[in-house]
Structure 1
Amino acid sequence: MLYIPTFISIIEVLLVTVPVLLTVAFVTVAERKTMASMQRRLGPNVVGYYGLLQAFADALKLLLKEYVSPTQANLVLFFLGPVITLIFSLLGYAVIPYGPGLAI
């Protein structure tokens, strides 16, 4: 019973962040298709129907890349840097009111 408010908060956060991340992914695909059209080429059309799954293929490729870190780098900061950047970029959506009493 104690975990229900925490679970609801996690669901609310996911309901805000997942659509934002999906929007960014598909806007990137649309940008790539537009740039390809300007250059008179096809653009990303290999994965899925007219390239609609290209964003997921790019994300999978990014996650499966080889682990490489500079030898002189502070490893904690090297790997926390992108995470901190993502967190702060998504925090801007935290103050948007979505309805009466529904501001995450």
Structure 2
Amino acid sequence: MGEACLFFNIPNDGVIINWQRKFKAQGSAGLQHKPKGRPKSMTYKRAKKKSTKPLTREEELLLENESLRMQVDYLKKLQALIQAEEAKQNKKHKPYMN
């Protein structure tokens, strides 16, 4: 076994002993590569393919409505952040009064 370790650059005899034990117990299937670690549990959802048929007027209006709502929400959030930053600046520059 020592000669085989040297010839095949195997770090120690224990590796070969483990291979022999697996082969005796399971046959050649025991020597197959098995991935280690946790399996990937997250699956990625693919985006739905766009249909080739044109949208109805109602579907177009619903999409536009959704887009406009997102824009309004974004602008509201931006305005709130600006006001919070201004309040923070005013609080810093305001002299302490007793």
TM-score, normalising length from structure 1?
0.34
Q: Which has the higher contact order (CA 8 A, sep 6+)?
A: 1
From the CA coordinates, give the structure whose radius of gyration is larger. 2
The TM-score with structure 2 as length reference comes to 0.36
